[in-house]
Structure 1
Amino acid sequence: MSGRLSRTHYGRRVDLTSTPTAAFEKLFNFRDVGGVPGLDGRPVRRQRLYRSDSPHRIDGADREAFGALGIRTVIDLRRPSEVQEHGRVPTYDGLVYQHIHPEHALWEESAYSEELGMARYLADRYRDLATTGAAGLVAAIEVIADAEAAPVLVHCVAGKDRTGVVCALTLSLLGVADSDIAEDYARSTAASARFSEWLASTMPEAAPLPAPFLGSPAEAMTLFLGELRDRHGSVPDYLIGAGLAPERIDALRGHLLS
């Protein structure tokens, strides 16, 4: 995609190609995951992989701005029941919609306590996802590894947990340091606050969301990645053991690293 894309947002022009986070009115956690250094210091290419909360709400100016990004493939990680209840990304000419659900237990089945701590609670949920949802995580990364599918948007509901794990595994395969992966993941906390403000203003009768649904401390992601390596040896070893072909890792690096 060439040229510079912009739109008017609350009276100001926003350049959608130079900033890692595009400005939307009803998307709160949308951003480009590129720009960080990967293998051999090669940066992850921008405008190839985006992450977001669910885009089912976009309309009007948001829809126009989304279309201008030229996204070819949307990977929806939500449960089938979530898709049925809320709908999916609007249809665009040339857009391929992929619904990939990594199997995982409902969070309500694992009680959260402040004594345990949010980072530990979230890391445990991500461990569970990597255990029961390995096939779905591999399927999502296989799509991301396909250069013809790019630009790709991967999303779930809030864009921080299932999306965070897929993006973390992808960036790790690209050689991005855990600290950079965790820093990107932690940006979802501010996005969750924006979503909470929007929810309170549009649906004041809605109950406040539980703390783990809103937080994304960097420590949660560093715990998850470190413990995944402790169990499997490395992120590539985990994914290959779960069914990812080694040549897909080469393909991923070939089109996502500058």
Structure 2
Amino acid sequence: MSPNSPSASAMHPFILVDGVTNFRDIGGYACQPSTTALSPSSRAVFEDPEEQWCIRPGFLFRAAQPSQITPAGVEILTKKLAIQAIFDFRSESEIQLVSKRYPNSLLSIPGTTRHAVPVFQAGDYSPVSLAKRYGVSADDSTQGQEIRPGFVKAYEAIARNAAQSGSFRAIMQHILQDSTGPVLFHCTVGKDRTGVFSALILKLCGVADEDIVADYALTTQGLGVWREHLIQRLLQREEATTREQAEAIISSDPRDMNAFLSDVVEAKFGGARKYFLDLCGLQEDEVDRIITKLVVPKTLEEKADGKNI
């Protein structure tokens, strides 16, 4: 399959949407929802021992901000991918900064509905600013350390703020109310806030931790030319003394997501399901319905020519 195809694959996970970086479908990952917490009716759906399950392909997409999308990119996004709803996790401050730097940038894309669901109400939370805000230093980024505590703190703050602000609840409610139209969610570069939401929803549906971590780690590759821009910002601000240190801070290091899943999602939240119930305020039946909408038989995924994970 060509990497320019509007469908992703394990070999070519990124979808070419001109003007948007780090664009990919989070569907296709093998999963096995935990049946112990499901209602009897929902549990029965997943009890067939012969069936294999995966995340519904062609429905949930993640990306960096689409502000510089081109007309060709709009055509792919709205026609071939049929995306109708876009959830924007950025703060108003970040949006204004983009508009100042790029006067021709788009806020709303023709043919779609933009939902402003800021995780943080104000301030810059791009990867560079997030690293500075939560104390991620060059020393945290050496390969010798098992975890990078600054990013783990940052991801916990993202999850808690998104619950408090209603940001993640809003996109979950949309999935409940309109399960037909594909959805795109994004922050600035599609790494941190986008990565946290992606991890939580994949975890909720029973995707293995190693696949969640692998999906997160793809952003290092997916940033493309934007990655170089962020590296240069770190060096210019002297927040990294060498290029190697800057690259490590910008990267989507698997250690960060591994620690977030184990030390925060499991140890502090009690799992992704309890996060959406206790912190986001969803009801048990709502969570069950979301899982049954997002998890499909593997045979359907193969017919859709999605990821063959």
Normalised by the length of structure 2, the TM-score is 0.70
Q: How much has 1:114 moved relative to structure 2? A: 2.8
Which whole-Å CA distance do the structure 2 matches of 1:231 and 1:111 have between them? 21
Give the match for residue 299 of structure 2.
none
Report the CA distance shift for 1:146/1:171 in structure 2 as closer, same or farther (over 3 A).
Answer: farther
Match of 1:3 in 2: none
Distance 1:18 1:230, change over 3 A: closer
Go from structure 1 to structure 2 and tell me whether the alpha carbon gap of 1:133 and 1:13 turns closer, same or farther (over 3 Å shift): closer
Task: Pick from 149, 160, 179 the counterpart of residue 210 of structure 2.
Answer: 179
- Match status 1:24 vs 2:17: yes
CA 1:132 to 1:15, structure 2 compared with 1: closer, same or farther past 3 Å?
closer
User: Equivalent residue for 2:242?
Assistant: none
Q: Distance in 2 between matches of 1:146 and 1:30?
A: 24
Match of 1:65 in 2: 76
> CA offset at residue 211 of structure 1?
4.6
- The secondary structure found in structure 2 opposite 1:35 is coil
After superposition, the Cα gap between the structure-2 partners of 1:230 and 1:18, relative to the gap in structure 1 and judged at 3 Å, is closer
Q: 1:183 to 1:146 in 2, by over 3 A?
A: farther
Compare relative contact order (CA 8 Å, sep 6+) and give the higher one, 1 or 2.
Answer: 2
**Structure 1, residues 44-82: CA drift from partner, whole Å, max 9, x if none?**
111000000000110132222222211011000001111
- Equivalenced residues, count: 243
Q: Which residue does 2:110 correspond to in 1? A: 92
Separation (CA, whole Å) in 2 of partners of 1:122 and 1:146: 33
User: In the alignment, which residue of structure 2 is the partner of 1:245?
Assistant: 283
Is the radius of gyration larger for structure 1 or structure 2?
Answer: 2
- Residue of structure 2 equivalent to 1:115: 139
Query: What does the per-residue CA deviation read over 1:171-228, in whole Å, with 9 as the maximum and x for residues that have no partner?
Result: 111111111111001000112243235x49xx99x95895576210112111101112
CA RMSD of aligned residues (A): 2.9
Structure 1 partner of 2:90: 78
Pairing 1:125-204 to 2, within 5 Å after superposition: 125-135=154-164, 136-148=167-179, 150-197=181-228, 199=229
Identity of aligned residues (%): 26
Distance in 1 (CA, whole Å) between partners of 2:53 and 2:179 is 21
* CA distance in 2 between partners of 1:148 and 1:84 (Å): 31
Structure 1 residue ranges without an equivalent (≥5): 1-5, 7-11
- CA distance in 2 between partners of 1:134 and 1:178 (Å): 22
Q: Tell me if structure 1 keeps the 8 A contact 2:134–2:151.
A: no
